[in-house]
């Protein structure tokens, strides 16, 4: 057969023109595409041989071979897959029967070509090789046929097909690399190995690299031994029964880039309308970059075992960003983009599955190994708490996973909400909690005194996220959450306790009024406390007001807040308050005592003094008076 010259389909011409004359930073995508095409051809030959054994003679090793020629600026990718005949070459390489092509070209025309990596975003397959090649030859022979063919094109609008004898079944693609640094880099051994291992490490068939021949001591060229580049199996595609615990742990080191053992893992395979695999890991230690939203290393996305992207944020909500592992889909397009992922129904389904499996993995760890879960919680519980913000779908599951310090837990131990409710006294109607800036401060807060005296357990919160988290807690097992530093305390009281409280309110009314006048610019109210046992005073936030801690946090983020006036509660049983009551009843000036009490209450809860110098001066004068 004489050489046939044919023109590309109009749409292909436009695509090639845009591709060849545009600049891209991700030209390496072409190698992923060609190897994926080769793997598909191998799959097809293996599949068809099931019904026709002659298509795959016994002993045939299905494989992909890659050979660079730096001196002549060539790169060869060869496979012994199904191969192509003349009609296949015309249909596969002369036309594009893919629905996304027009949209691809539109985006390419509209984009900033110097920064947008569209090749990795839309399906262009074989044609992406023209980004680096000035000419491409495809020498192929189809399994079950005798005639071989050579397809040739320079990407200029036409291609040639010639009958060309070929001994073996399969396809050999020769790229004549462009004479520029970016293109000729793909004849470099290191570059080729790096790209193949990055994208095609888990392709089912062996990918063999053939180094260029080198001269020996005699000056003769010698063939160098081949090297297999993809030795690892796609562990996630194997049956759980076939995988040992050590293999799971070793693979975590690969995907998690972590020398520590994982706390737990979950391996699943979903079949039905969609088919995908997931292998998820919980780190035992917080990843070093867990707070850097731009530099994560979460889930790796694969399509048919071909690497697509690291840290696929579309598969996980931010509050599960500590999860490491792999998701592999059979149904996504190979050139899927982040833009496509954001609105893709397949990704939505996979995302729900991944979230469900992660929460199950956490629950299982908490149930089967409480100590191990406590260690994990200490490392990463603060991230999981973020799930209570802007998330209404998984609140019940998250509540079960929460762990807290409390007034009844030992150092390093935690209590769950289930345990807390189970050991509540019958007289306790709510779940009590207290928030502070750090563990030491919140444990020493005077607000806890009456609760300790009554034997009521109080959850102690000191993470910055806690202020946001508690707003979504609502209730647990019909028990509402109550901030003990907010509003009044509704204890069940005996008739004697109620009578004593009413008496204290009346006898200390004068002192409360005097203190209110002195501290009016800072306080909304001064009142007798029912929550204090040892301390002379404490500060309480009004039921509907912003907490002092939240106010400080908002100001630190640049949101200036109007100052919230607090409530000062005084202890009628404390000697200082009794002394001040006597002074107020005698009409004496209280001097520096109001400033001292207010400053002490601020310091006790962990707040900053508005005027440290004035507080120090007041304390100094009071101590001096005692010294005299």
Token couple for 535 = 């301390």
In angstroms, the CA 13 to CA 4 distance is: 18
For the segment 153-195, what is each residue's pLDDT rounded down to a tens digit? 998 878 999 999 999 999 999 999 999 888 999 999 999 999 9
* Residue whose C-alpha is closest to residue 469's, from 418, 439, 435, 428: 435
Residue 151 phi/psi, 5-degree rounding, is -105, 130
Give the pLDDT band of residue 99 (cuts 50, 70, 90): very low
At 125 the pLDDT is 76
What is the Cα 132 distance to its own chain's centre? 35
* Residue whose C-alpha is closest to residue 195's, from 32, 306, 63: 32
pLDDT, greater one: 405 or 546 = 405
Classify domain 247-373 by CATH number. 3.30.230.80
At 294 the pLDDT is 62
Give the pLDDT band of residue 101 (cuts 50, 70, 90): very low
CATH architecture for the domain at 404-484: 3-Layer(aba) Sandwich (3.40)
Taking 90 as the threshold, does the pLDDT of residue 7 lie above it?
no
Give the pLDDT band of residue 296 (cuts 50, 70, 90): low
pLDDT-wise least confident of 92-106, 141-155, 394-408: 92-106
pLDDT, greater one: 342 or 415 = 415
Q: For 272, which DSSP code? A: S
Classify domain 495-541+552-628 by CATH number. 1.20.120.790
Residue 173 phi/psi, 5-degree rounding, is -105, 120
SS3 state of residue 123:
coil
Under a CB-based contact definition with an 8 Å cutoff, are residues 384 and 319 in contact? yes
In angstroms, the CA 287 to CA 380 distance is: 9
For the segment 107-142, what is each residue's pLDDT rounded down to a tens digit? 545 554 433 333 333 335 788 898 899 999 999 999
**Angstrom distances, CA of residue 329 to CA of 39, 197, 249:** 16, 19, 23
What is the Cα 491 distance to its own chain's centre? 43
pLDDT-wise least confident of 228-242, 516-530, 550-564: 550-564
In angstroms, the CA 501 to CA 114 distance is: 76
Residue 317 burial by Cβ neighbours in a 10 Å radius (0-12, 13-18, 19+): middle
Under a CB-based contact definition with an 8 Å cutoff, are residues 482 and 431 in contact? yes
Token couple for 236 = 């996630």
Token couple for 244 = 């040992």
Token couple for 326 = 């792999």
At 85 the pLDDT is 94
**Angstrom distances, CA of residue 107 to CA of 379, 396, 415, 591:** 43, 43, 54, 75
Contacts of 261 (CB under 8 A, 6+ apart): 249, 252, 284
Under a CB-based contact definition with an 8 Å cutoff, are residues 518 and 594 in contact? yes
Give the DSSP per-residue string, 222-264: EPPPPEES--S--GGGS-GGG--HHHHHHHHHHHH--SSPEEE
Number of Cβ within a 10 Å radius of residue 323: 22
In angstroms, the CA 313 to CA 218 distance is: 56
Token couple for 80 = 């012994």
Under a CB-based contact definition with an 8 Å cutoff, are residues 560 and 590 in contact? no
pLDDT, greater one: 538 or 548 = 538
In angstroms, the CA 493 to CA 482 distance is: 18
pLDDT, greater one: 219 or 222 = 222
Within 285-344, where are the H helices? 338-342
Burial 74-86 (b: 16+ CB within 10 A, else e): bbbbbbbbbbbeb
pLDDT, greater one: 558 or 349 = 349
Residue 301 phi/psi, 5-degree rounding, is -100, 125
At 118 the pLDDT is 37
Q: Which residues pair with 222 in a beta bridge?
A: 214
Under a CB-based contact definition with an 8 Å cutoff, are residues 351 and 314 in contact? yes
pLDDT, greater one: 497 or 37 = 37
- What is the average per-residue pLDDT within 493-503? 83
Hey, where are the domains in the chain? Answer: 4-214, 247-373, 404-484, 495-541+552-628
Classify domain 4-214 by CATH number. 3.30.565.10
For the segment 225-269, what is each residue's pLDDT rounded down to a tens digit? 899 999 888 999 999 999 999 999 999 998 888 889 999 999 999
- What is the average per-residue pLDDT within 413-436? 93
DSSP run (H or E) holding 327: strand 324-329
In angstroms, the CA 120 to CA 104 distance is: 11
Under a CB-based contact definition with an 8 Å cutoff, are residues 284 and 263 in contact? yes
Q: Which residues pair with 137 in a beta bridge?
A: 152, 174
Residue 60 zone, left/alpha/beta (φ > 0; ψ -120 to 50; rest): beta
At 578 the pLDDT is 95
Q: Which residues pair with 252 in a beta bridge?
A: none
In Å, the largest CA–CA distance within the chain is: 122
* Residue whose C-alpha is closest to residue 159's, from 127, 114, 204: 127
pLDDT above 70 as % of the chain: 89
């Amino acid at each position: 057969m004489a050489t046939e010259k044919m023109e590309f389909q109009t749409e292909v011409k436009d695509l090639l023109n845009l591709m060849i004359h545009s600049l891209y930073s991700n030209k390496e995508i072409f190698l992923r595409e060609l190897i994926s095409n080769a793997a598909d051809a191998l799959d097809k030959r293996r599949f068809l041989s099931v019904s026709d054994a002659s298509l795959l003679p016994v002993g045939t090793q299905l494989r992909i071979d890659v050979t660079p020629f730096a001196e002549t600026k060539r790169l060869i990718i060869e496979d012994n897959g199904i191969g192509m005949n003349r009609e296949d070459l015309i249909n596969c390489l002369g036309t594009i029967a893919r629905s996304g092509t027009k949209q691809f070209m539109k985006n390419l025309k509209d984009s900033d070509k110097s920064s947008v990596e569209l090749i990795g975003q839309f399906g262009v397959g074989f044609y992406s090789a023209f980004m680096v090649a000035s000419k491409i030859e495809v020498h192929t022979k189809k399994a079950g046929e005798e005639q071989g063919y050579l397809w040739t094109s320079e990407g200029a609008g036409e291609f040639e097909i010639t009958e060309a004898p070929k001994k073996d079944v399969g396809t050999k693609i020769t790229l004549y690399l462009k004479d520029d640094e970016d293109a000729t880099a793909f004849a470099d051994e290191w570059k080729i190995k790096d790209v193949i291992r990055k994208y095609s490490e888990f392709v089912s068939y062996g990918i063999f690299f053939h180094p260029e021949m080198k001269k020996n001591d005699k000056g003769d060229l010698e063939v160098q031994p081949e090297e297999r580049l993809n030795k690892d199996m796609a562990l996630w595609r194997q049956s759980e029964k076939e995988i040992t615990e050590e293999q799971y742990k070793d693979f975590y080191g690969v995907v998690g880039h972590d020398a520590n053992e994982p706390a737990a893992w979950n391996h699943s395979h979903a079949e039905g309308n969609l088919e995908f695999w997931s292998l998820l890991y919980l780190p035992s230690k917080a990843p070093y970059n867990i707070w850097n939203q731009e530099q994560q290393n979460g889930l790796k996305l694969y399509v048919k075992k071909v690497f697509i992207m690291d840290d696929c944020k579309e598969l996980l909500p931010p509050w599960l960003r500590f999860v490491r592992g792999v998701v592999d889909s059979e149904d996504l397009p190979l050139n899927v983009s982040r833009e496509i992922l954001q609105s893709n129904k397949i990704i939505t389904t996979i995302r729900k599955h991944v979230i469900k499996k992660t929460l199950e993995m956490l629950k299982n760890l908490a149930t089967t190994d409480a100590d191990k879960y406590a260690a994990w919680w200490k490392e990463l519980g603060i991230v999981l708490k973020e799930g209570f913000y802007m998330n209404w779908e998984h609140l019940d599951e998250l509540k079960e996973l929460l762990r807290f310090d409390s007034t009844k837990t030992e150092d390093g131990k935690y209590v769950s909400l289930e345990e807390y409710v189970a050991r509540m006294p019958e007289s306790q109607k709510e779940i009590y909690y207290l928030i502070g800036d750090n563990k030491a401060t919140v444990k020493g807060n005077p607000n806890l005194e009456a609760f300790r005296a009554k034997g009521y357990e109080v959850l102690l919160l000191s993470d910055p996220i806690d202020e946001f988290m508690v707003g979504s807690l609502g209730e647990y097992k019909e028990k509402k959450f109550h901030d003990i530093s907010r509003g009044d305390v509704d204890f069940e009281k005996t008739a004697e306790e109620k009578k004593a409280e009413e008496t204290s309110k009346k006898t200390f009314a004068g002192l409360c009024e005097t203190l209110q006048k002195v501290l009016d610019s800072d306080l909304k109210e001064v009142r007798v406390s029912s929550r204090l046992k040892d301390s002379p005073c404490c500060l309480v936030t009004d039921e509907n007001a912003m907490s002092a801690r939240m106010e400080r946090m908002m100001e630190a983020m640049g949101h200036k807040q109007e100052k919230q006036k607090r409530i000062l509660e005084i202890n009628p049983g404390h000697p200082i308050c009794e002394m001040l009551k006597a002074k107020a009843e005698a009409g004496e000036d209280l001097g520096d005592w109001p400033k001292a009490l207010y400053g002490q209450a601020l310091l006790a809860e962990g707040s900053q003094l508005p005027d440290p110098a004035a507080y120090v001066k007041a304390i100094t004068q009071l101590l001096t008076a005692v010294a005299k």
